[in-house]
Amino acid sequence: MAVDNKVVEQVAHLARVQISADSVADYATDMSGVLELAAQMDQVDTSSVEPMAHPTHAVQRLRDDVVDEVNQRDAFQAIAPSVENGYYLVPPVIE
């Protein structure tokens, strides 16, 4: 499928992208190339390929869920500008 300059301008308008008049022809060539590649890929015989429901169905190694850091909340709140009842106080952003 060949893309002409009018189609590029329409797509740019829909995407709210500003394209200079000098580069419209280049974009048309590039878009035509992408669509031609998709058409070529559509011609590939995939009848012997088993469909995958999800790529992560493979077994994944998981690490043990072990705590490896100590709680440093008190140390961090000691250097905070403002803390009350274990919470950080921040200025309001919406009134």
Query: What pTM, to 2 d.p., does this model score?
Result: 0.50
Find the length of the chain: 95
Q: 84 — phi, psi (to 5°)?
A: -145, 125
| Residue whose structure tokens are 């009842």 | 85
| Domains of the chain, residue spans | 5-42
pLDDT for the residue 72: 94
For tokens 């994944």, the residue is 60
Local mean pLDDT, 10-residue blocks, the chain (95 residues): 90 95 94 95 91 74 89 94 94 86
87 bridge partner residues: 84
Q: Is 5-42 CATH 1.10.3470?
A: no
SS3 71: coil
Distances (CA, A) of 70 to 6, 22, 32, 86: 62, 60, 57, 17
The per-residue pLDDT for 58 is: 72
pLDDT for the residue 4: 92
Which pLDDT score is estimated for 51?
Answer: 80
